[in-house]
Structure 1
Amino acid sequence: MSVKSAVRVLEIFELLRDHPQGLNIKEIASALSFPQSSTFNLVKTLYEHGYLSATETKKYRLGPKLIQLGTSSMESMDVYREAKWPLERLAEQVEETVFMAILSGDEMVYVAKEDSNRSIKTSAQIGSRKPMYCTGLGKVLLAYLPEEERNRILDKSALHPITENTVTDRDELDRLLIQYREQGYAVDNEENEEGLYCIAAPVFDVAGLVFAAVSVAGPKDRIRKRHDFIVFHLLSTTRVISRNMGYIP
């Protein structure tokens, strides 16, 4: 049985996750359809305990205490522990930014990022979520999901164009997912961020099911010139992580 106040706290966290610039009490209450008085009390308590921070204009954002909790949660994950050194080595080998994401409901969430001396700026950060149809990581996860689960996710996904290159036609996306599964990796050709090209491969668990993915991301021209080199090291890395998680091909 859910505790009403606890559920409301979680809803506040999820709302503010999507509004990094912050929201005031009235905006939070309005967005969640909470009474303003109880919203004030919840936000005040969370702020006093460090779970929220506030700007000078009294806009509330996620606070530093959540970073500590998130870091502890990450370190307790088997996949994070088993993937850390292979991801570090991959970033050194390809000299590009490396990401890892896991399935979380109908979205993917970034759980690791390894920078290189040639890393580029990107909106993807640890803990952030992205829809799966427009990223290399998301598309490779979709490609390897059971067909029923993949269709369930895509049937409820609005394929909005994020950039001019975003694939918004369902038939075309389905065709690409089949291709990605056959070749063993997926590509994001500036579909989520202009100028960013990604190659992503799946990670499997002990049952042989996809549950995570790893990508190499960088400027389009640079990645495409080194395509085969990057794919080789990326697939070698995902095989190591999968094996560490108990997967036997």
Structure 2
Amino acid sequence: MSVKSAERVLRVFELLSQKPHGLTIKEISETLSFPQSSTSGLIGTLFRAGYLSLDSANTYKLGPKLIQIGSAAMESLDISSQGYPFLKQLMEDVQETVFMAVLSDQDLVYIAKIDSNRSIRTSAQPGGQKPLYCTGLGKVFLAFMPEQNRHTILNAVELFPITKQTITDKQQLLEQLRIFWQLGYSIDDEENEEGLFCLAAPVYGADQTIQAAISVAGPKERMNKQKDYIVENLLLTAKKISASIGYLGA
């Protein structure tokens, strides 16, 4: 899709967000000064994809798919804002880089990063995406999500080697995930970035399912020297964030 087309899509969404009773194609075209022929094609595409709905009066309104996207965005923002004070305290306690991520389809998306004064360089940044199978945060989602979801994702993805340490055998990965589930946290041992060791834990929501993951990452040697201390603080922080967004579990 060209930039011009993308801008038109956004303008349609913004217009209809102000018109809860909907508009016809002609009204959309005239209001936005778009050619009616191209407006018809654009609206038809958005309707078929579920981004717009059509009523009996031939007026278009914002569709159900936007509700899902908006809900996911709001949830991510809520978790990030609720979790930030706890993540900052975790960083101050362990003096390593702290992350938070959420699940997006078959990838994780970073929504928060707090550097310490001795943070090492990493490619992970807020808004960035990474595979699930080779990151500590991603393996938390795989280990603590429902079994059917895990199998669906792993059956659809190829385990490419990102570093020499990346696990590329699915049975070996499944066995590791089983161990992580028992431990209550996951480990990324230089599997996504050489030299980077990561410990990650799940954050649960009010519906008792995993909503996000948090991690502590740093140089392997330095992380291993205080691994038990980091794990203790990581799990406590995950528990506090979970409670702050409505989780009532143990």
State if a TM-score over 0.5 links the two structures.
Answer: yes
The aligned runs of 1:197-208 (5 Å cut-off) are 197-208=197-208
Pick the structure with greater CA Rg: 2
Q: Distance in 2 between matches of 1:123 and 1:132?
A: 15
Unaligned runs of 5+ in 2: 11-37, 39-72
Unaligned runs of 5+ in 1: 11-37, 39-72
Aligned equivalent of 2:148: 148
CA contact (8 A) 2:79 2:245 kept: yes
Q: What stretches of structure 1 move > 6 A for 4+ residues in a row?
A: 7-10, 73-76
CA distance change for structure 1 residues 111 and 76 in 2, over 3 Å: closer, same or farther? Answer: closer
Q: Distance in 1 between matches of 2:81 and 2:102?
A: 14
Q: Distance in 2 between matches of 1:180 and 1:208?
A: 18
Aligned equivalent of 1:48: none
CA distance change for structure 1 residues 159 and 85 in 2, over 3 Å: closer, same or farther? Answer: same
RMSD: 2.1
Pairwise CA distance, 1:5:
3.3
Q: One-letter code of the match for 2:113?
A: K
The aligned runs of 1:53-64 (5 Å cut-off) are none
The aligned runs of 1:102-113 (5 Å cut-off) are 102-113=102-113
CA contact (8 A) 1:88 1:114 kept: yes
Q: Distance in 2 between matches of 1:148 and 1:192?
A: 25
Aligned equivalent of 1:139: 139
Pairwise CA distance, 1:81:
1.3
Q: Distance in 2 between matches of 1:6 and 1:218?
A: 39
Q: Distance in 2 between matches of 1:173 and 1:5?
A: 42
CA distance change for structure 1 residues 76 and 200 in 2, over 3 Å: closer, same or farther? Answer: closer
Residue correspondences, number? 185
Tell me if 1:186 matches 2:186: yes
Aligned equivalent of 1:130: 130
- Return the TM-score normalized by structure 1: 0.71
Aligned equivalent of 1:162: 162
Q: One-letter code of the match for 1:179?
A: I
CA contact (8 A) 2:203 2:239 kept: yes
- Return the TM-score normalized by structure 2: 0.71
**SS of 2:216's equivalent?**
strand
CA contact (8 A) 1:74 1:111 kept: no
CA contact (8 A) 1:100 1:212 kept: yes
Tell me if 1:214 matches 2:180: no
Aligned equivalent of 1:56: none
Aligned equivalent of 1:90: 90
CA contact (8 A) 1:99 1:112 kept: yes
**SS of 1:202's equivalent?**
strand
Q: Distance in 1 between matches of 2:145 and 2:116?
A: 30
Pairwise CA distance, 1:148:
0.5
Q: State, as a whole percentage, how many aligned pairs show the same letter.
A: 54
CA contact (8 A) 1:95 1:117 kept: yes
Q: Distance in 2 between matches of 1:76 and 1:140?
A: 17
Pairwise CA distance, 1:118:
1.1
Pairwise CA distance, 1:106:
1.0
CA contact (8 A) 2:76 2:111 kept: no
Deviations 1:190-211 (A, max 9, x none): 0000000000000001011002
CA contact (8 A) 1:75 1:81 kept: no
Aligned equivalent of 1:81: 81
Pairwise CA distance, 1:79:
0.5
